[in-house]
Amino acid sequence: MITSKTLCATLLATSLPFSSLRMAHAQITLRVPPTKGIVTPSQKAATTPSPFDSLAAKYLSGIDRVTKERQNLLLVRYKSERDEAQKLDSEMAAKESQILVDWRAEAAKRPEKKLLFLRDSPEQELLNPFSVTAARIVTSLNDEGLINPSGLYRLFHNAESLSPQWLNLFKKLQEGYPKNSEEWDIGAELLFKANADREKYKGRLTTLAEQGNATALQLLLFGIDEETGEKTPVISPENFLLMRRITAKSLASNIVFYASKLVCAQYALLLRDYSLAQAICDEIYNLNYVSQDDSESETDSDKDMLVFDAKRKSLEFLFYEVKNEKALKTVYDRSRIVQIESELHEAVLPQGLASMTAQNWMSYSAYPTGRLEIDFAQTLIASVQNFSK
């Protein structure tokens, strides 16, 4: 091959003028094959998206649409239930007297001689929060001693929609309970949610929230839009400080606070404090399972189910509400935890594995609740494949 150095030496030896030298060099240089467009294996690897990068691109481009569709479905269901309840009220009003007679007869047949309003019991049809007629019928049955009022509190879910007649009944029941008793606290939560005597019960709900009552905390931090059923944050200095006090509590010493911490994460997210919302989820992910397949401890199993419930809700919160790449990565890594463990083993063998065994290391999949968590994470990741459909 003729190089520039060889060419220069030859031309100088034949005493060619400098202009000829420059022309000859240019002609030879033009004959060199072009290298533009050639990609080396290392360059190709660097430009090829990883499986997670491809997943993240699809997730980030579709998650807002998916969550909006979920919200729309909930809104349609909420309005449908409300319309159906109002329709039933009209039908009930036309035969109110006979309905009252029929339920008196039904109560007489029961062993307790009362309507208990248990889940799936026939009298559940009377628990229509929008119905003035149903409220009058139940009030009459209560005055006659024919119901167990504890079952009425199933209306808590729709407390913000209760008719004035229902509220009057619950206020009357509240007067019959000892203050700060369990029944009184449940009534306080329902009446607070229904926007009845909120200042009267606010102090008690704050106390309950600081004791780990997530329902009380949610009532304090959020309101309900009556038209859509969606939660809206109640922004105040008191609520901000309450959220901070709850998030400062240790989950390691009291797992029951996990639900309260997730409420705080939702509140922080709506306040655009993304780092706090993520930090709460990270804390939940530091919780460990203790009960293995051969465990006989019911206490350990019960605790593990609480931990699993916390992590499942945290995964769902990250996936559907935080909605950023870091949140997705947390879910993705949990869905692949068994593969990650396998890769770790290969990297640390043989000395590392001996060290891990000495520290009583245990695979995540060795715990029944760990496997449930992995399955749930995998379901969320698999759903991303349907985002474009």
CB atoms within 10 A of CB 332: 21
Question: Lowest-pLDDT range, 35-39, 52-56, 101-105?
Answer: 35-39
Taking only the tens place, the pLDDT of each residue in 273-332 is 988 998 999 899 888 888 776 666 777 788 889 889 999 999 999 999 999 999 999 999
pTM greater than 0.85: no
pLDDT tens for each residue of 224-269: 887 777 888 999 999 999 999 999 998 877 888 999 999 999 999 9
What's the chain's average pLDDT? Answer: 83
Tell me, what amino acid is at 201? Answer: Y
Return all residues near 88 (Cβ < 8 A) that are at least 6 apart: 125, 128, 131
Report d(CA 127, CA 338) in Å as an integer: 48
Distance, CA of 377 to CA of 315 (rounded, Å): 7
User: From the CB of residue 79, how many other CB atoms can be counted at a distance below 10 Å?
Assistant: 13
The alpha-carbon radius of gyration of the chain (Å, integer) is: 33
Question: pLDDT for 99-111, tens place per residue?
Answer: 999 999 999 999 9
Mean pLDDT calculated for residue range 146-171: 91
Nearest-angstrom CA–CA distance, 156 and 218: 13
